[in-house]
């Protein structure tokens, strides 16, 4: 099993190191090769996604990704910014389906900003379409300068678009995921204002006719954002577009206590996937040893499940994470009185010991 390991920037190197440590003790036949991506790649090669890194990712069965970005790159021309690496990987690998589970572990109920009765037992799966929408629309606005900013410009624009095949394929993924859970699917749109999302709603409804056993409902994105904090357990599987999914999945992450707990998987039609924590590179805490590696470790478990067909090992990792939380070990983001605060490395060591 060939895995491309792309730590990236900021805390990416720290959290990926812990996930690799966990994978190494499983005793599975895995080949892991590391490459530069994001700001680190720009410094070394002048581009956030060098050809050598892209080649490695394409040839791998799965990609384990950390995070990219740093404020010092904000003045670069947009195509050279670290964040373009992740967009480039999604496009070149055809990664169209992003799975973002939001699970509130019993041990972390008190870490959520919501009342325990609202989030106890929470288990939501947000499925975000990754290769269409406004992020991949027409060129962004009228650029006066070449540094990614618009001094003196009078307007800027982004084009939101979706094609029927793009909506159909993500809808099928979502309905099939709902079938394996509680057979309930919520499609989130803004059909009352945007033609793009009236089209989305129509196509999802058409696909839904092929899944009569799955209950489908539609919800406007503003209402969905409100319901996530009002009654989050009303949701089970949620499917939505690229931008709405980006926002709602981050909102859902805070229901669980910390975005440092949320893994994600981005898959193509062959189940080749890129696995990364839902959070960013957090350059303000990089190198301090306080980042939470659990989202990355849980992303590695998703990698074993979806791309490498190693369900038993995925379950072992998830059980080990729960055991560590039950022992009261916490990184800074989920620490509370009465628990034991540990470093990034100590949390990884604890998961290894639990395994």
Half-sphere exposure of 150 (CA within 13 A, CB side): 9
Phi, psi of 35 (to 5 degrees): -145, 165
Residue of 21, 105, 123, 135 marked active site: 135
- Does the annotation count 190 as an active-site position? yes
Distance CA 353, CA 249 (A): 31
Residue of 189, 190, 201, 211 marked active site: 190
- H helices of the chain, where? 12-24, 39-45, 51-59, 84-93, 116-119, 164-179, 195-208, 221-230, 242-255, 294-306, 311-326, 344-354
CA geometry: angle 202, 203, 207, nearest 5 deg? 120
Distance CA 53, CA 68 (A): 14
**Computed over its alpha carbons, how large is the radius of gyration of the chain?**
20
Residue of 58, 72, 222, 353 marked active site: 222
Residue of 147, 158, 246, 349 marked active site: 246
Distance CA 277, CA 162 (A): 26
CB 245 within 8 A of CB 128: yes
- Does the annotation count 250 as an active-site position? yes
CB burial of 44-78 (b: ≥16 within 10 Å; e: otherwise) equals eeebbbbeebbebbeebbbbbbbbbbbeebeebee
- Does the annotation count 270 as an active-site position? no
Q: Which of 265, 280, 261 is nearest to 324 (CA)?
A: 261
- Does the annotation count 222 as an active-site position? yes
Residue of 123, 236, 250, 349 marked active site: 250
Instruction: Count how many residues are written for the chain.
Output: 355
Distance CA 19, CA 299 (A): 8
- Which tokens go with 35? 């490459």
Q: Which residues are catalytic?
A: 135, 190, 222, 246, 250
């Amino acid at each position: 099993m060939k895995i491309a390991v792309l730590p990236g920037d900021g805390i990416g190197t720290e959290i990926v190191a812990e996930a690799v440590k966990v994978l190494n003790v499983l005793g599975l036949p895995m080949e892991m090769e590391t490459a530069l991506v994001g700001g680190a790649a720009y410094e070394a090669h002048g581009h956030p996604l060098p050809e050598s890194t892209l080649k490695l990712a394409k040839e791998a069965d799965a990609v384990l990704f950390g995070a990219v970005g740093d404020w010092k790159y904000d003045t670069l021309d947009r195509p050279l910014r670290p964040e373009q690496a992740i967009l480039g990987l999604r496009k070149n690998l055809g990664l169209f389906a992003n799975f973002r589970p939001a699970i509130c572990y019993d041990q972390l109920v008190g870490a959520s900003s919501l009342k325990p009765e609202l989030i106890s037992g929470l288990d939501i799966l947000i499925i975000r379409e990754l290769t269409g929408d406004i992020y991949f629309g027409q060129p962004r606005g009228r650029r006066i300068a070449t540094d990614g900013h618009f001094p003196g410009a009078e307007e800027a624009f982004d084009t939101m678009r979706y094609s029927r095949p793009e909506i159909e394929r993500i809808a099928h993924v979502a309905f099939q995921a709902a079938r394996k859970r509680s057979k309930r699917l919520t499609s989130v749109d803004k059909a009352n204002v945007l033609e793009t999302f009236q089209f989305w709603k129509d196509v999802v409804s058409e696909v839904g006719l092929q899944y009569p056993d799955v209950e489908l409902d539609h919800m406007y994105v503003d209402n969905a954002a409100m319901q996530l904090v009002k009654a989050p357990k009303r949701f089970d599987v949620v499917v939505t577009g690229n931008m709405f999914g980006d926002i709602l999945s981050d909102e859902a992450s805070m229901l669980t206590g910390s975005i440092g707990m949320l893994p994600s998987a981005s898959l193509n039609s062959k189940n080749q996937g890129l696995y990364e924590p839902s959070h960013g590179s957090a350059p303000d805490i990089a190198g301090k040893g306080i980042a939470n590696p659990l989202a990355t470790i849980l992303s590695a478990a998703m990698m074993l499940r979806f791309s490498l067909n190693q369900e038993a090992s995925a379950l072992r990792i998830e059980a080990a994470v729960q055991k560590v939380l039950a022992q009261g070990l916490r990184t800074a983001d989920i620490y509370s009185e009465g628990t034991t605060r540990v470093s990034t490395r100590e949390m990884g060591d604890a998961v290894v010991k639990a395994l």
